[in-house]
Structure 1
Amino acid sequence: MKTLIHPTYFPSIAHFVAIANTDELVFETDDNFLKQTYRNRAYVYGANGKLTLNIPVIHSQKNRQKYRDVKIFNEEKWQSLHWKSLLSAYRTSPFFEYYEDELQPLFEMKTDFILDFNLKCFETITECLQLDVHTSKTEIYQETPTDTNDFRFLVHAKKEQPQNFESYTQVFNNKHGFIPNLSILDLLFNEGPNALNYLESQTIITP
């Protein structure tokens, strides 16, 4: 069965649990852009706890704007800031150096549209995970799709469905304890080649 999700910025672990456990992935690209979602934010584990990485976007004056039409506000040096934050958070993690060369170019390339950038991040992460998944994009928006596992609810950063994922060792565990469902980057830098096994062994709790 197909799995339907929103393309997001370095997706949450919940997103990648859904991705790793499907044969066919469909990206929702015909929805309206909403604030305070994972479309333009990711959470990582910094020295002071949960840290938000937010991509600035240009909001339309219209009431509604299609996700695929939303542009990144590249006047802000957000890429440099995000990369420095990742270095600070994960340079001592077991596998940061292992993936650094593949990820750093994402923080140096200029992309106009947030959707395009998120899809590029997705491609890079699947290469790091050595995860082969067939993908397609929606052509129309459907409120209730048929014959599809609809995981679009995972896009909401502020009203998340709690997930019961197994803990793994994080860099600052001894400071703040285990923080679940961060960006896939947290799992990748801490678990490395074992990350895919972890994802395939977890289950999503639906609303």
Structure 2
Amino acid sequence: MTLALLFPQFAPNLYDLSVMLQADRLILQDLERWSRKSRTHRAKIRVPNGTQWINIPIRTEDRKKAIKDVRMDHSEDWVTPLLRTIEYNYRNSIYYDFYEPEIKADFQSAYDYTSLLEFILYIQKRLLSFMEIEIGYELSSDLPNYTSDPDKLAQQLEADSLLQEYDSRHYQRQAEGYNVKLQFDHPEYHQHFAGFEAGCSILDVLFQFGPESFRISDQLKVED
């Protein structure tokens, strides 16, 4: 059994989507402390001169709490500028207009939520559904004997191998003996700006490939 440990994310990049697709069991570590360096509240998009982060604001007083207890900061309108940034950089993409109404409505629904976790799990499910991907997961808060030690957790759950979040050493506790390098070659594909930038979120793939996003996601799977 291949176990994967990820922090919850609203728009995973292709590295972490590959982990999700290769795992037999996926645990989202909502009991871990929120980190500004994580991708729990932010996602990378393509811009003319490289990449840029889009962010969901977090209440200042919640920044040392577990992810499951973190609340979004709705004191100012953050959805409008976030959507404006997405529009500015993706409006010329092939499928931007196709998805824009639904994605706009999904992000505007953020004000119906207080919990960051509940909102990002909703957004992730929606974005993956557009790509015709369904991911099963468990929250660490629902596990009776959860431990933050990845080696002990993998052993406890009788995992044969363990996958962790990409480039997460600054905020996710790293396994010492159990970790297995992900079998992953980042697909290169045509982006709407010149050149190619790896590490963009699935928004980049969705706006470029639309219903044919499977052409990219199929490359993330490993055949038995």
The TM-score, its normalising length taken from structure 2, stands at 0.78
Identify the residue that residue 171 of structure 1 maps to in structure 2: 192
- Tell me which of 139, 147, 165 is aligned to 1:153: 165
Identity among equivalent positions (%) equals 20
Question: Cα gap change, 1:57/1:151 in structure 2, threshold over 3 Å: closer, same or farther?
Answer: farther
Identify the residue that residue 183 of structure 1 maps to in structure 2: 201
Check the 8 A contact 1:21/1:200 in 2, yes or no: no
Unaligned runs of 5+ in 1: none
Larger displacement relative to structure 2 (144-153 or 14-23): 144-153
Distance apart, 1:200 and its partner CA: 2.9
Identify the residue that residue 85 of structure 2 maps to in structure 1: 85
2-structure distance, mates of 1:57, 1:43: 17
Distance apart, 1:42 and its partner CA: 0.9
Distance apart, 1:85 and its partner CA: 0.8
Question: Cα gap change, 1:167/1:125 in structure 2, threshold over 3 Å: closer, same or farther?
Answer: same
Identify the residue that residue 139 of structure 2 maps to in structure 1: 137
- Tell me which of 94, 116, 119 is aligned to 1:117: 119
Distance apart, 1:97 and its partner CA: 2.1
Q: CA RMSD in A?
A: 2.7
Distance apart, 1:202 and its partner CA: 3.1
1-structure distance, mates of 2:7, 2:62: 23
Identify the residue that residue 74 of structure 1 maps to in structure 2: 74
2-structure distance, mates of 1:8, 1:201: 21
Question: Cα gap change, 1:132/1:55 in structure 2, threshold over 3 Å: closer, same or farther?
Answer: closer
Larger Rg: 1 or 2?
2
Distance apart, 1:41 and its partner CA: 1.2
For this pair of structures, how many residues does the alignment match?
Answer: 199
Question: Cα gap change, 1:61/1:151 in structure 2, threshold over 3 Å: closer, same or farther?
Answer: same
SS at match of 1:25: strand
Unaligned runs of 5+ in 2: 172-180
Question: Cα gap change, 1:170/1:82 in structure 2, threshold over 3 Å: closer, same or farther?
Answer: same
Identify the residue that residue 104 of structure 1 maps to in structure 2: 104
1-structure distance, mates of 2:50, 2:70: 30
Identify the residue that residue 5 of structure 2 maps to in structure 1: 4
Question: Cα gap change, 1:133/1:202 in structure 2, threshold over 3 Å: closer, same or farther?
Answer: closer
